Amino acid sequence: MDTLTKSNAIAAELKALGIQSHNSGVSTGVEWLKGEGNALESFSPVDGALIAGCTSASRDEYDHIMTTAEAAFREWRMWPAPKRGEVVRQLGEKLRAHKQDLGKLVSYEMGKSLQEGLGEVQEMIDICDFAVGLSRQLYGLSMHSERPLHRMYEQWHPLGIVGIISAFNFPVAVWSWNAALAWVCGDVTIWKPSSKVPLSAIATQKIVSEVFKANGVPEGVSCLMVSHSAIGEELAKDKRVPLVSVTGSTRVGKRIGGIVGERLGRVIQELGGNNAIIISEHANMDIAIRAAIFGAVGTAGQRCTTTRRLIIHEKVYDDVIARLKKSYGQLRIGDPLDQNNHVGPLIDTKAVADYLDAIEQAKAAGGKMIVDGGVCTGAGYESGCYVQPCIIEAKNDFPIVQHETFAPILYVMKYSTIEEAIDMQNAVPQGLSSAIMSTNIYETEKFLSQAGSDCGIANVNIGTSGAEIGGAFGGEKETGGGRESGSDSWKAYMRRQTNTINYSTALPLAQGIKFDI
């Protein structure tokens, strides 16, 4: 195996996934194009090693992919939905076979723990299972007409090309949430992954290619274009792409959403979060502390659902802080492939600089360090991407607290009434995930009521981080308002059509209108 990585930690997995020293990052499904654009290299934040390189799409290859995808859609949409579902079922089985290999690559390339890397692949498997069932449940409604001898119903048709722009923190799972649903709905997809984690996308596309080739799926149903941000903007501008799903920062979402909106296209946006847990005086403290810590330091704070604020009742504030300090003192920071470690690296040194800057801004605003932060140095930290998870006592209206920093920084603050706590929870621009820790039914029901959390996700006695496939995932306000994954999120990938059938010998008009000639 010719690999550029300095470590043999994942050599076997790279070989099993077909990753070479130099890879094409451009595919229309089974076919792999040369990749005539810029060369990209993927460095692991775990040890700073160069894993491998790849080539990106050129403008000519972009046009070729679009033409191929358009032709594929015309054929793929005519496949019966359960037959499309069968292909997705087989993909789920192939992902099961490659779970260890792909999960380890995700962990090494992105820096999340091995358990989280494996969990991400499991999410891909789960959404395939969900989509298989969905392929037999793309239901419309039947309605009674006000006109005699008329029948009304609605049906759902595929949209066409779905552009998927994914972020580095979930290199493969969020793509699968979109792709699996889009495929069973009869759409074709073009995937533009983060240029920070191209190898995970290439490995995933290779797995898809095997399944699609075995089933005779038209070339162009699953396309991959590794590149920098320029291709993402091309997808946003392109009228041939009726739907663009983008995961990333609010800044990126505003730019992409604005471009798509100008051409009246559709967009699914999963953007920033600024998630809080309210810890009531009535909380089960063991559950609350465990949820807060995992939510704050899991994936080194690089989840959109990361817990960034703890809003703590004044009566239990000191106890919670003492428990947090003790637990943070036991966190092990290091190689995420070592399952004894709790916290891996940030994605790159720019993320480290943003983390340090956020701490300084919080301190300058009057924040008090409860658990100190800083960059980890010494053996095992040579990549320069490992940082200390920290806790800062702050006020909710500090500018930096209102901002999402993709790092393990937890802000803590006090409240006195449940109404005050909910107002604090809602008083940020983002609206993704939220949680309350309480055994008081008045508090929990108020939190879930119309006057409660304004987030797309509101949890009781579980943390903000993570989500199940069966529920719709997404948020409000500057989080973008999009929904992916479960429930009826599939409707975003289809167009609704209302049909009326007249089986009489007359032409009665609606609302009793007379139009005689």
pLDDT on residue 2: 45
Q: What is the reported pLDDT for 6?
A: 53
Q: Which amino acid makes up residue 99?
A: K
N residues, the chain = 517
Give CA separation, 344 vs 51, 61, 110, 337, in Å: 17, 37, 9, 9
Distance (Å) of CA 209 to CA 37, 65, 69, 75, 369: 22, 15, 15, 18, 50
Catalytic residue among 234, 270, 443, 484: 270
**How far is the C-alpha of 494 from the C-alpha of 289, rounded, in Å?**
42
**Partners of residue 267 on adjacent β-strands:** 244
Residue 200 contacts residue 106 (beta carbons within 8 Å) = yes
Q: How far is CA 150 from the centre of its chain?
A: 44
The answer to whether residue 270 is catalytic is yes
What pLDDT score does 84 carry? 98
Active site residue 54: no
Q: Which of 54, 223, 304, 390 is catalytic?
A: 304
Which residue stretches of the chain have pLDDT < 50?
Answer: 1-3
Distance from the first to the final alpha carbon of the chain: 81
Q: How far is CA 368 from CA 25, 182, 210, 274, 406, in A?
A: 46, 47, 54, 20, 20
Helix, strand, or coil here: 380? coil
